[in-house]
Each structure stands twice: as C-alpha cells, then as structure tokens.
Amino acid sequence: MPHFPNLFSPFKIGSMAVKNRIVMPAMETHLCDKEGFVTPEVISYYRARAKGGVGYITVENTSIDPAGRINDGMLCIHEDKYVDGLKRLGEEVHGAGGKVVIQLNHAGKEALTYFTGMESVSPSPIPSPLTRTVPRELTILEIEAIVDKFAQGAERVFRAGADGVEIHMAHGYLVCQFLSPESNIRTDRYGGDTEGRARFAVEIVQSIRSKVPKDFPVICRISADEYTEKGLKLEEGKVIARLLESAGASALHVSACNSASAVYNIPCYYLEEGCFIHLASGIKSAVKVPVITVGRILRPEMAEESLRGGKADLVSMGRSLIADPYWPKKVEEGRLEDIRPCISCNRCIESIVEERLVCTVNPCIGREWELERKPMPVAKKVLVVGGGPAGLSAAAVAGEMGHKIWLWEKEPLLGGKYRYASMAPKKEYMRKFLDYLIKQAKKYATDIQCNKEATVEAIKEFAPEVVILANGAKDEFLQIPGVSNNHLMEVLDAFNEAGSLGANVAIVGGGPEGCELADYLLTQGKQVTIIEMRRVLGLGLVAHPRYHISERLKKAGAKIMINTKVLEVGRGFIVVSRRGEDKQKLDGFDSIIMSCLHRPNDALADPLKKWIKEVHVVGDAVQGRTALEAVAEGACAALKL
Ligand SMILES: Cc1cc2nc3c(=O)[nH]c(=O)nc-3n(C[C@H](O)[C@H](O)[C@H](O)COP(=O)(O)OP(=O)(O)OC[C@H]3O[C@@H](n4cnc5c(N)ncnc54)[C@H](O)[C@@H]3O)c2cc1C
Ligand SMILES: Cc1cc2nc3c(=O)[nH]c(=O)nc-3n(C[C@H](O)[C@H](O)[C@H](O)COP(=O)(O)O)c2cc1C
Ligand code: SF4
C-alpha cells in the first residue's frame, strides 16, 4: 500500500489545526444565487469535499465590494446580510470534519462593467488584457476605503465562524494589479518601487490584523511570477513575500500569472505537472511562515515529494478535488485506482465564464447527493448499447443503483472514440480516466460483452426493460467533390495506421480532432499540412488547450492553411481556394485524411421505441460533442431509472 507520511501529517496555520497537508484552493463555482448568497448547491459542493478528507477548504473568491465583483456568479461578503449563509456553510463543513477558510477578492479592472454597472478601477488606467476596458485610476481616498472593505470582509469571515481568511493577491485581480510593475505605474506612495506597489497589500493585512484575533489565520495568495514580459518575477515576489510576512500574514499561497497569461495560470494538459512548485520553493527560501504550493499537482507522489524536499509546507489540489471530492481519503486508504482523475482539460474554468461549474469527469457538481445512491427497490433489466464514455458512465451509475446491467460493444475494445483522445500527445490522463470508467462499469455491471453488435432483432430477443443507446455519432465525410473515391482516410483510422501514411500527409479540417491528429503525426516525424476553412484552428476546443495546441503545431513545423476552402480532393492532391485568392492545387501528398461531421445517430432508437417502453439516447448519439456531455448524459439516464 502506498504511504505518504508527509502528506498525511497534521499541521497548524495560526489557530487552525489541520489533519493533513492537502488544501483545496479557492475555485469559483457559480453555484451561489445572483445576489451572491450561499445556496444549497454551494453547501452540497463544499460539504462533499470536507467529507472527502481534505485538510482545509478555501471557499471561492468572495467579493468585498459590489464594484469589484467579477460577475453574478461570485459569492459576496460586502454586507452583514451575507454572514448567515457563510456561517451555515462553515457549520456544514465543520460537521463533515473539515476546516474552512474564505477567500476575499476585489477584481479591480477585471470586474465586468456591463455586469456591475460601475466603472472598473485599478491603480493605473491600463486596459484589462481580458476585456480591453480602460479602468479609472483610484484616488488615495478610494484606496483607503478598499483597504477598509477588505478588513470588514475579514471581520465578517471571522464572525461567520470560519477558520481563516485568504486574501486574493494573485491572478491579475486588484491587489495583484497594485503589486505588478506592469499594471501599476503610479508615482504616489502606492506605486513606484516594490515597497510602494506592495503598500496596498501590506495595509490590507495590517488592517485585517487589527480586526481579528492575533492567531486567526490570514493567508495571502500571490502570483510569485506573472509569466509576462513586464510583470512580477520571482526575485521581486520574494521581497513582497517578506513584506507580507512582516505585516502579519500567517501563510503564503504561491500561485502564478495574471490575466494576460491566463493560459498558464490553470495549467491544462499541455503544461507540466507541478509547474509552479519551484516558485513556492523560492518563496519558502525567503520567509519563515508556511508556504502552500499549487499547480497541476495530480499525483500523491508529487505532492509527497514537494513536502519531503522542503519545497512547501502544504499542497493545494484544485481540480483534482473538483474531479473527485474523495481524493484525500482514497489516497490515505491506498485506493489510488479508485480515484476519478482530473484530466486537466479546463472545461471547468471555461464553464464558469457564463454558467455554473461543470467537470468532464464528474457529472454531479453541486448536487453531490445524487451520487450518494441507495439501491433501488426494484431492479430493472437494462441493456446499454455502446462502450464509450456515455455507455460506461450509464452502466456504472445504473449498476451501482442496483439495476441489472448488460453492456454490448461492437468493437473488440471498450472506450469508443475516447480511446483516440488519449493517443494524442500530452493527453495520457484521458487514458487514466477511461480506465477509471471501464473499472467502474465492470464493477457494477452484470455482464459486459465486446465484439457484440446490437441490432434491433438482437435487442428484441434479449427483451430488456430499458435500453440506453450510447452508440456514438454517425460520422460522415464533408461533402466535397472527390470524397466519394475511396482514397481518403478518416481521422480515427489515421491514428491506428499512422505507420502506413507515408511522409507527407494532408488533413482536411483543422477542428479538435484534425489538430490532435496533426500533433500526433508530427511527433512521428511526418510533414503535415492542415487545411481549415475557418479563421482559427481547433474551434470547439477549450480556450487554453486550443492556444497551446496551435503553438505546438506551429513550433513543430506544421503547414497551417486557415481561411482556406477545399474545392476538390483526388489521389494525392487537393484543390483549395484561399479567401480572396485564385484556386490552387496542392500536390504530392502520400495520404489525405478527412475530418468528419458527427451526425445524430438514430439507427436503433426509432425502431426500438415501438418495442421497448424506456429508451434513452445519450452522448454523441444525440449529437457529436465531447466526453463531458457523454459522461453526464449517461449518468443522468441512469439516475432516471
Ligand atoms: C481524436 C479525438 C480526440 C478527442 N479528444 C477529446 C477530448 O480531449 N475531450 C473530450 O471531452 N472529448 C474528446 N473527444 C470526443 C469524445 O471522444 C467523444 O465525444 C466521446 O467519446 C463520445 O462518447 P460516446 O460514448 O457518446 O460515443 P463513442 O465514444 O463514439 O462510443 C460509442 C460506442 O458505441 C459502439 N457502438 C456503436 N454502434 C453499436 C452497436 N450497434 N452495438 C454495439 N456497440 C455499438 C461504438 O463502437 C463505440 O465504442 C475526442 C475524439 C477524438 C476522435
Ligand atoms: C473553476 C476554477 C475556478 C477558480 N477560481 C479561483 C478563485 O476564485 N480564486 C483563486 O485564487 N483561484 C481560482 N482558481 C485557480 C485555482 O485556485 C488553482 O490555482 C488552479 O486551479 C491550479 O491548481 P490545480 O492545478 O490544482 O487545479 C480557479 C480554478 C478553477 C479551475
Ligand atoms: S473539467 Fe477537466 S480540468 Fe476541470 S476538474 Fe474536471 S477534469 Fe479537471
């Protein structure tokens, strides 16, 4: 059994004693109501993480000022009326054996003015890299008022019975804007050298200290490196860390980036695991207070190593705890293979731009009670058709509810299209998730058969009470002159037969699948041309991976033709027309790969509905999308049984 003695050793930050070194960092959920009050969903979400055994939870960034609220998905604490809800939340977390710290934030120039209805503010009138809005420069009186608002917020956190408070000084929000030489060009006492730029942060800590007991934890979250040309770098981060320590900070939570470098801040699968540990280690060398590290630390071995090596005192694991609230308990009990792994796809962060938090691998965010199922009084005979993510998810959830599940998959292997997702470079965590799904389905299903094609006749003969159709999309080539000749290959076949494609390959369609195939073929030393009709590559991908894959393809020397329409394909050649230019014949390809349209698949649904009372269609069979919808719809269909 793996043993992680450092990770599971107790620790103290001020008056807060924690049972282990695992921290849940602040992560917005948008589960609050539009006015920023705690809802039952917020409570359900955090209670589950407390039950899962995390050392302490940092509640998502909570607004200390209506003008600094990013949008209407952000919790609030700028008035006393918010204290009761936060108190209830704290009591639930405590009841589940956890500790709770609340993060306070003012978004500064990153507050969305169309939402707040107020001007955005910042130390200097430098546009927001995200919204391009030019903020108004704060006056000294206004700065002092905001310092006071942070202190009032912290005092409310204390009154709400929380175990500590964290001040968001990272990621390009207001305090970070003051600290940064990039966004603070003031010449008064709140600008200039490091000490001047840090004055706002220091005064916040001092002001909070005057309002809460001496040992009440006041944690400062900083971006030790902003990952931009003119932003903060580690050496200056160390000076700031020392100033915060002297002002009374109880611990430093060391993150990175600002809004101009957001593609690195929440590291997606293209970035290295543990990519900010060196920053925590650098800060730790400069201060005596405890230091928390964060950033794609997915495996307990890495967490343990960063503690053992003295690089940090605690380890923050954000998305791993979104994906599986029980990560700490499972690790402590040595059940590593039961962990539902975060695949670093960043659908979560994209989701909260407009909606509530969702996760590709965890379909029950904010309604965790739904997964705490009791066996159903009457077990139904259920046939699941298709062993991709949707079918596996349906089989596992329905099986766990006590139904009798049979799953038929026509291919020799389970996994559906998702098997190819993990073949692309840097996407090996997709395989881990697939293995998890397969393991869960096998654990709870009565029988799983591969090489078994479901036909209407076979299903009728089997006579299930319920059929869950998870048989994937109907794939069709784009309709272009020449495609009917059988010299073209599909993306999935190209993954399987990369060795026989020859040296010079063209991919028609630079969507997610085309881009990932290109990435894969480039690592095999092939020359790759991607032809895409739209003006950007990878449309449909989450923004962060889309940025990184475009960079990877450019760096690896792919020939990228965007705004380019394919008019005809033939053996070894493609005729294209670039916007505003004449036709062009591209010749000499050894292979041409065509992306497909993913159509709804109703081949079985319509005939079956005449015979079977309960037929559910889920995943790509409804419409070609992603694993997120497949996993969620599979689970939802099961929960309806
Ligand atoms: C290269 C590539 C990369 C991708 N990357 C990502 C990614 O990073 N993130 C993401 O979320 N999504 C990704 N996707 C998309 C994702 O794989 C699909 O959205 C997901 O697999 C859909 O799941 P599904 O279970 O609905 O369908 P599928 O995965 O298509 O599974 C359907 C299954 O049903 C079986 N089947 C069909 N008909 C029958 C029948 N009559 N009898 C028995 N079995 C049958 C099929 O053989 C198949 O195994 C990627 C896809 C590809 C191709
Ligand atoms: C959905 C989501 C919301 C986030 N919201 C916040 C936030 O409110 N405050 C904050 O300081 N960081 C926020 N972050 C950043 C995380 O706290 C953390 O630094 C980041 O996810 C990297 O850690 P991880 O790799 O362990 O997930 C958020 C991240 C995610 C994924
Ligand atoms: S959405 Fe993706 S990155 Fe976010 S927690 Fe879930 S698996 Fe991890």
Which is it for the CA torsion 512, 518, 522, 525, positive or negative?
A: positive
pLDDT digits over 316-325, tens only? 999 999 999 9
How far is 102 from 61, CA to CA, in rounded Å?
7
How far is 326 from 122, CA to CA, in rounded Å?
39
How far is 465 from 488, CA to CA, in rounded Å?
42
pLDDT digits over 584-632, tens only? 999 999 999 999 899 999 989 989 988 898 999 999 999 999 999 999 9
Neighbours of 600 (CB within 10 A): 14
- The CATH label, of 1.10.540.10, 3.50.50.60, 3.20.20.80, 3.40.120.10, for the domain at 476-598 is 3.50.50.60
Alpha carbon separation from 107 to 38, 230, 297, 420 (Å, rounded): 20, 20, 26, 40
Residues with CB under 6 A from ligand 2: 25-28, 60-61, 103, 168, 170-171, 221, 255, 266-267, 294-297, 316-319, 348-349, 352, 357
Which segments of the chain belong to CATH 3.50.50.60?
476-598
DSSP-assigned states of every residue in 256-293: ---GGGHHHHS--TTSPTTTTHHHHHHHHTT-SS-EEE
What spacing in Å lies between the alpha carbon of 81 and ligand 3's midpoint? Answer: 33
Q: Where are the beta strands (DSSP E) in 50-186?
A: 56-63, 75-76, 100-105, 121-122, 136-137, 164-169
Confidence of residue 1 (pLDDT cuts 50, 70, 90): low
Which segments of the chain belong to CATH 3.40.50.720?
373-473+600-640
For a pLDDT cut of 70, what percent of the chain falls above it? Answer: 99
DSSP-assigned states of every residue in 182-220: TT----STTSSSHHHHHHHHHHHHHHHHTTS-TTS-EEE
Which segments of the chain belong to CATH 3.20.20.70?
11-332
What spacing in Å lies between the alpha carbon of 348 and ligand 3's midpoint? Answer: 5
Ligand 3: nearest atom to the Cα of 322? 5
Across the range 211-222, mean pLDDT stands at: 98
Q: Which two tokens stand for residue 569?
A: 């394909």
pLDDT at 483: 83
CA dihedral in degrees (298, 301, 303, 307; nearest 10)?
Answer: -170
CB neighbour list of residue 610: distance below 8 Å, 6 or more residues apart? none
How far is 162 from 212, CA to CA, in rounded Å?
12
What spacing in Å lies between the alpha carbon of 345 and ligand 2's midpoint? Answer: 13
Domain made up of 373-473+600-640: CATH architecture:
3-Layer(aba) Sandwich (3.40)
Bridge partners of 471, per DSSP, are: none
Alpha carbon separation from 81 to 7, 35, 69, 153 (Å, rounded): 38, 11, 17, 12
Bridge partners of 100, per DSSP, are: 57
Mutual angle of helices 140-159 and 194-209, in 10-degree steps:
40
Active site residues: 173
How far is 392 from 472, CA to CA, in rounded Å?
12
How wide is the angle at C-alpha 151 spanned by C-alphas 145 and 153, nearest 5°? 105
Which of the ligands is closest to the CA of residue 318? 2
For the structural domain made of 11-332, what CATH number should be given? 3.20.20.70
Q: Which two tokens stand for residue 255?
A: 């993150």
Q: Decide if pLDDT at 128 tops 90.
A: yes
Q: Which two tokens stand for residue 451?
A: 């090489």
Across the range 247-254, mean pLDDT stands at: 98
pLDDT at 370: 76
Q: Average model confidence (pLDDT) for the chain?
A: 95
Across the range 537-547, mean pLDDT stands at: 95
pLDDT digits over 316-366, tens only? 999 999 999 999 999 999 999 999 999 999 999 999 987 999 999 999 999
pLDDT at 2: 58
Q: 487 with 592: CB under 8 angstroms?
A: yes
Give the closest residue to 196 by CA, choosing from 236, 145, 153: 236
Residues with CB under 6 A from ligand 3: 319, 322-323, 342-348, 359-361
Instruction: Reduce the DSSP state of residue 29 to 3 states and report it.
Output: coil
CA 209 to chain CA mean position, Å: 34
How far is 635 from 362, CA to CA, in rounded Å?
10
Neighbours of 304 (CB within 10 A): 20
Q: Please name the residue that has the structure tokens 């965007």.
A: 562
Give the closest residue to 488 by CA, choosing from 584, 583, 577, 572: 572
Q: 346 with 361: CB under 8 angstroms?
A: no
Choose which residue among 165, 266, 315, 544 to substitute to test ligand 2 binding: the one with the highest number of ligand atoms within 8 A of its C-beta: 266
CA dihedral in degrees (160, 165, 169, 171; nearest 10)?
Answer: -70
pLDDT digits over 522-536, tens only? 999 999 999 999 999
Which residue has a Cα nearest atom 5 of ligand 3?
A: 319
Strand bridging mode 314-316 / 22-24: parallel
Q: Decide if pLDDT at 373 tops 70.
A: no
How far is 328 from 24, CA to CA, in rounded Å?
10
Alpha carbon separation from 548 to 32, 358, 495, 542, 625 (Å, rounded): 32, 22, 21, 10, 21
How far is 134 from 124, CA to CA, in rounded Å?
9
Tell me if the pTM is above 0.95: yes
pLDDT digits over 427-468, tens only? 999 999 999 999 999 999 999 999 999 999 999 999 999 999
Give the closest residue to 408 by CA, choosing from 394, 391, 422: 391
Q: 291 with 265: CB under 8 angstroms?
A: no
